[in-house]
Amino acid sequence: MATPDFIRTIRASAGHQLLLLPGVTAVVFDDDGRVLLVRRADNGAWTLVGGIPEPGEQPAVAAVREVYEETAVRCTPERVVVVQALDAVQYPNQDRCQYMDITFLCRATGGEARVNDDESVEVGWFPPDGLPGLDEATLLRIKQARSNEPAWFDPGTGQDPADRCHAGR
Protein backbone atom coordinates (compact mmCIF):
# COMPACT_ATOMS: atom_id res chain seq x y z
CA MET A 1 0.00 0.00 0.00
CA ALA A 2 1.47 3.34 -1.02
CA THR A 3 1.80 5.82 1.82
CA PRO A 4 -0.51 8.84 1.33
CA ASP A 5 1.07 12.28 1.61
CA PHE A 6 -0.93 13.16 4.73
CA ILE A 7 0.52 10.11 6.52
CA ARG A 8 4.06 11.15 5.48
CA THR A 9 3.39 14.55 7.07
CA ILE A 10 2.25 12.91 10.32
CA ARG A 11 5.27 10.58 10.30
CA ALA A 12 7.62 13.58 10.02
CA SER A 13 6.70 14.53 13.59
CA ALA A 14 5.43 11.21 15.01
CA GLY A 15 8.41 9.13 14.00
CA HIS A 16 7.84 5.37 14.02
CA GLN A 17 5.31 5.30 16.88
CA LEU A 18 2.11 3.33 16.46
CA LEU A 19 -0.55 5.18 14.47
CA LEU A 20 -4.19 4.14 14.42
CA LEU A 21 -5.30 4.68 10.82
CA PRO A 22 -8.56 4.28 8.92
CA GLY A 23 -8.64 1.55 6.31
CA VAL A 24 -11.09 0.23 3.75
CA THR A 25 -11.32 -3.13 2.01
CA ALA A 26 -13.49 -4.03 -0.98
CA VAL A 27 -14.88 -7.50 -1.67
CA VAL A 28 -15.81 -7.07 -5.33
CA PHE A 29 -17.95 -9.68 -7.10
CA ASP A 30 -18.66 -9.85 -10.82
CA ASP A 31 -21.87 -11.10 -12.44
CA ASP A 32 -20.50 -14.67 -12.39
CA GLY A 33 -19.99 -14.59 -8.60
CA ARG A 34 -16.20 -14.40 -8.85
CA VAL A 35 -14.21 -12.28 -6.40
CA LEU A 36 -11.57 -9.75 -7.46
CA LEU A 37 -8.13 -10.30 -5.92
CA VAL A 38 -4.74 -8.65 -6.29
CA ARG A 39 -1.32 -10.18 -5.74
CA ARG A 40 0.72 -7.67 -3.76
CA ALA A 41 4.05 -6.46 -5.09
CA ASP A 42 5.63 -6.20 -1.63
CA ASN A 43 5.05 -9.75 -0.36
CA GLY A 44 3.49 -11.72 -3.23
CA ALA A 45 0.33 -12.53 -1.24
CA TRP A 46 -3.10 -12.63 -2.85
CA THR A 47 -5.55 -10.33 -1.10
CA LEU A 48 -8.58 -8.11 -1.49
CA VAL A 49 -8.21 -4.52 -2.63
CA GLY A 50 -7.76 -2.08 0.22
CA GLY A 51 -6.33 1.26 1.20
CA ILE A 52 -6.52 4.38 3.31
CA PRO A 53 -9.22 7.03 2.85
CA GLU A 54 -7.98 10.54 2.13
CA PRO A 55 -8.89 13.25 4.69
CA GLY A 56 -12.59 14.08 4.28
CA GLU A 57 -13.24 11.12 1.96
CA GLN A 58 -16.15 8.85 2.82
CA PRO A 59 -15.11 5.20 3.39
CA ALA A 60 -17.33 3.80 0.60
CA VAL A 61 -15.95 6.36 -1.85
CA ALA A 62 -12.42 5.40 -0.79
CA ALA A 63 -13.15 1.71 -1.41
CA VAL A 64 -14.42 2.43 -4.93
CA ARG A 65 -11.42 4.67 -5.63
CA GLU A 66 -8.94 2.06 -4.39
CA VAL A 67 -10.52 -0.66 -6.56
CA TYR A 68 -10.24 1.50 -9.65
CA GLU A 69 -6.71 2.74 -8.88
CA GLU A 70 -5.39 -0.78 -8.29
CA THR A 71 -7.36 -2.83 -10.83
CA ALA A 72 -9.12 -0.52 -13.37
CA VAL A 73 -12.42 -2.16 -12.34
CA ARG A 74 -15.37 0.13 -11.66
CA CYS A 75 -17.68 -0.93 -8.85
CA THR A 76 -20.57 0.12 -6.66
CA PRO A 77 -20.61 -0.42 -2.89
CA GLU A 78 -23.66 -2.31 -1.61
CA ARG A 79 -23.19 -2.78 2.12
CA VAL A 80 -20.72 -2.97 5.00
CA VAL A 81 -19.73 -6.57 5.74
CA VAL A 82 -16.96 -6.33 8.37
CA VAL A 83 -15.75 -3.67 10.81
CA GLN A 84 -12.58 -4.62 12.65
CA ALA A 85 -9.44 -3.30 14.25
CA LEU A 86 -6.67 -5.29 12.58
CA ASP A 87 -3.51 -6.43 14.32
CA ALA A 88 -0.75 -3.84 14.46
CA VAL A 89 1.89 -4.16 11.75
CA GLN A 90 5.48 -3.04 11.62
CA TYR A 91 6.91 -2.15 8.23
CA PRO A 92 10.55 -2.69 7.19
CA ASN A 93 11.25 1.04 7.80
CA GLN A 94 10.09 0.48 11.45
CA ASP A 95 6.84 2.46 11.05
CA ARG A 96 4.05 0.88 13.14
CA CYS A 97 0.37 1.09 12.21
CA GLN A 98 -2.91 -0.43 13.25
CA TYR A 99 -5.80 -0.15 10.83
CA MET A 100 -9.47 0.27 11.76
CA ASP A 101 -10.89 -1.44 8.70
CA ILE A 102 -14.33 -1.15 7.15
CA THR A 103 -14.96 -3.82 4.52
CA PHE A 104 -17.56 -3.27 1.81
CA LEU A 105 -19.36 -5.69 -0.47
CA CYS A 106 -19.11 -4.20 -3.97
CA ARG A 107 -20.47 -5.19 -7.39
CA ALA A 108 -18.34 -4.75 -10.49
CA THR A 109 -19.99 -2.38 -12.96
CA GLY A 110 -17.33 -2.00 -15.66
CA GLY A 111 -13.70 -1.93 -16.61
CA GLU A 112 -11.38 -4.81 -17.33
CA ALA A 113 -9.35 -6.23 -14.45
CA ARG A 114 -5.65 -5.50 -14.86
CA VAL A 115 -2.69 -4.29 -12.84
CA ASN A 116 -3.29 -0.54 -12.73
CA ASP A 117 -0.57 0.66 -10.32
CA ASP A 118 2.71 -0.46 -8.77
CA GLU A 119 1.14 -1.98 -5.63
CA SER A 120 0.20 -5.24 -7.38
CA VAL A 121 1.88 -7.66 -9.75
CA GLU A 122 -1.24 -9.57 -10.72
CA VAL A 123 -5.00 -9.07 -10.71
CA GLY A 124 -7.63 -11.74 -11.24
CA TRP A 125 -11.19 -12.94 -10.80
CA PHE A 126 -11.56 -16.13 -8.76
CA PRO A 127 -14.56 -18.40 -8.18
CA PRO A 128 -15.33 -19.04 -4.49
CA ASP A 129 -14.26 -22.68 -4.85
CA GLY A 130 -11.00 -21.76 -6.61
CA LEU A 131 -9.42 -19.15 -4.36
CA PRO A 132 -5.64 -19.01 -4.05
CA GLY A 133 -4.12 -19.35 -0.56
CA LEU A 134 -5.60 -16.51 1.49
CA ASP A 135 -5.17 -15.48 5.12
CA GLU A 136 -7.98 -15.92 7.63
CA ALA A 137 -8.96 -12.23 7.65
CA THR A 138 -9.43 -12.26 3.88
CA LEU A 139 -11.43 -15.49 3.99
CA LEU A 140 -13.68 -14.01 6.72
CA ARG A 141 -14.35 -10.94 4.60
CA ILE A 142 -15.27 -13.01 1.54
CA LYS A 143 -17.48 -15.32 3.62
CA GLN A 144 -19.33 -12.36 5.15
CA ALA A 145 -19.76 -10.68 1.77
CA ARG A 146 -21.30 -13.85 0.33
CA SER A 147 -23.74 -14.18 3.23
CA ASN A 148 -26.86 -12.17 3.94
CA GLU A 149 -25.81 -11.69 7.56
CA PRO A 150 -25.48 -8.25 9.11
CA ALA A 151 -22.02 -6.71 9.30
CA TRP A 152 -19.56 -8.75 11.37
CA PHE A 153 -17.58 -7.14 14.16
CA ASP A 154 -15.33 -8.49 16.86
CA PRO A 155 -17.28 -8.18 20.11
CA GLY A 156 -14.05 -7.97 22.12
CA THR A 157 -13.69 -9.50 25.55
CA GLY A 158 -17.30 -9.13 26.62
CA GLN A 159 -16.15 -6.97 29.53
CA ASP A 160 -18.46 -4.08 30.43
CA PRO A 161 -16.97 -0.85 28.96
CA ALA A 162 -17.54 0.90 32.30
CA ASP A 163 -15.35 -1.73 34.01
CA ARG A 164 -12.55 -1.11 31.49
CA CYS A 165 -12.75 2.66 32.17
CA HIS A 166 -12.22 2.07 35.88
CA ALA A 167 -9.60 -0.67 35.58
CA GLY A 168 -6.46 0.05 37.56
CA ARG A 169 -8.10 2.50 39.99
Candidates 74, 79, 89; CA nearest to 20 is 89
Burial environment of residue 156 by CB neighbours within 10 A (0 to 12, 13 to 18, 19 or more)? exposed
Q: What is the mean pLDDT of the chain?
A: 90
pLDDT in tens, 130-145: 999 999 999 999 999 9
Candidates 79, 68, 138; CA nearest to 104 is 79
Q: State the CATH number of the domain containing residue 111.
A: 3.90.79.10
Specify the number of domains making up the chain.
1
- Spell out the residues 6+ positions from residue 150 whose beta carbon is closer than 8 angstroms to its own: none
pLDDT in tens, 23-69: 999 999 999 999 999 999 988 999 999 999 999 999 999 999 999 99
Cα separation, 21 vs 50, whole angstroms:
13
Q: Residue 137 is part of which domain span? A: 5-166
Distances (CA, A) of 47 to 55, 103, 157, 168: 25, 13, 28, 40
Cα separation, 37 vs 101, whole angstroms:
17
pLDDT band (50, 70, 90) for residue 10: confident
